[in-house]
Amino acid sequence: MKADLYDSFAESYAAENDSSLLNAYYERPAMIALAGDVEGHRILDAGCGSGPLSAALIAKGAIVTGFDSSAAMLDLARQRLGDSADLWLADLSKPLPFADHSFDDVVSSLVLHYLEDWLSPLAELRRVLKPGGRLILSVNHPTVSVITQPDEDYFAIRQYSEDYEFDGEPAVLTFWHRPLHAMINAFISAGFRLVTVSEPGPSPDTPQELLPPRILNGEKTAFLSFIFFVLGTD
Ligand SMILES: C[S@@+](CC[C@H](N)C(=O)[O-])C[C@H]1O[C@@H](n2cnc3c(N)ncnc32)[C@H](O)[C@@H]1O
């Protein structure tokens, strides 16, 4: 497999993800809350990165398999999870190395927005889910683009790049923007049923110094960043 984008900033991204408002106190708690009771569930973490969500689900009694297309991210996941998770180098854009109906749940945090085509990956995730299984996922909230890219076409599926700083290191991420209707129609076309859509606030245990001022002063309850979906297979 060729070197993956995340290979070049794996360590700084993982360090940022472990403590940032957006990941540690917003995205991950929201995914854990949506997953609910996972005791004994076989869960696939699609695009597991350095494995923080896998670790949280294992702590709640789940049996976790993870995969990622970045070898460097997967190495960090191995360091974090040891033998407690089954970890694979695999690409969500390609057929996955798992048998049909292997998992009770698939979780996928902040991964699908890297893919131009959603239909084949969603079909693969549906294939590996047991009947009655759930796909729980988060992606960049498409509405953010109306504010941050006012000259671009919200309604188009199009690529865009943004500059980031992870743990003090610069990085450029390239995403695929999709309007909300295109996301939901892709889920439906892949045979999923929409169970829950979530636009959560930050976790109640967020350190005050990380909170945006208008949340801290009670003026707002949440901020626009990611959108979360729970999808059913039947
Ligand atoms: C924003 S990070 C999130 C990592 C992890 N899910 C988390 O929340 O901590 C996105 C991850 O998706 C992975 N990724 C991107 N495209 C992928 C693909 N086509 N197949 C598998 N993993 C992919 C990246 O390597 C990276 O680890």
* CB-ligand 1 contact for 138 (6 Å cutoff): no
Atom of ligand 1 nearest to the CA of 6: 25
**Span 59-114, pLDDT tens digits:** 999 999 999 999 999 999 999 999 999 999 999 999 999 999 999 999 999 999 99
Complete domains list, the chain, with CATH: 5-232 (3.40.50.150)
Give the integer Cα–Cα distance in Å for 158 and 147. Answer: 16
Q: Chain-wide mean pLDDT for the chain?
A: 96
Q: What are phi and psi of 194, to 5 degrees?
A: -75, 120
Residues in contact with 57: Cβ distance below 8 Å, sequence separation at least 6, in sequence order: 32, 35, 38, 41, 43, 45, 64, 107
pLDDT, residue 49, reads 98
- Ligand 1 centroid–CA 206 distance in Å is 24
Q: What are phi and psi of 10, to 5 degrees?
A: -60, -50
- Ligand 1 centroid–CA 42 distance in Å is 20
Protein residue closest via CA to atom 10 of ligand 1: 111
Atom of ligand 1 nearest to the CA of 5: 25
* CB-ligand 1 contact for 140 (6 Å cutoff): no
Protein residue closest via CA to atom 13 of ligand 1: 47
Task: Read off the amino acid at residue 101.
Answer: H
- 2 pLDDT tier (thresholds 50, 70, 90): low
* CB-ligand 1 contact for 110 (6 Å cutoff): yes
pLDDT, residue 112, reads 98
Does position 121 have pLDDT exceeding 80, yes or no? yes
What are the Cα distances from residue 140, in Å, to 76, 99, 104? 24, 29, 25
**Span 169-219, pLDDT tens digits:** 899 999 999 999 999 999 999 999 999 999 999 999 999 999 999 999 999
For 41-45, the CB contacts below 8 A with 24+ separation are 41/104, 41/105, 42/102, 42/103, 42/104, 42/105, 43/103, 43/104, 43/105, 43/106, 43/107, 44/98, 44/102, 44/103, 44/105, 44/106, 44/107, 44/125, 44/128, 45/85, 45/106, 45/107, 45/108, 45/109
* CB-ligand 1 contact for 35 (6 Å cutoff): no
pLDDT, residue 3, reads 64
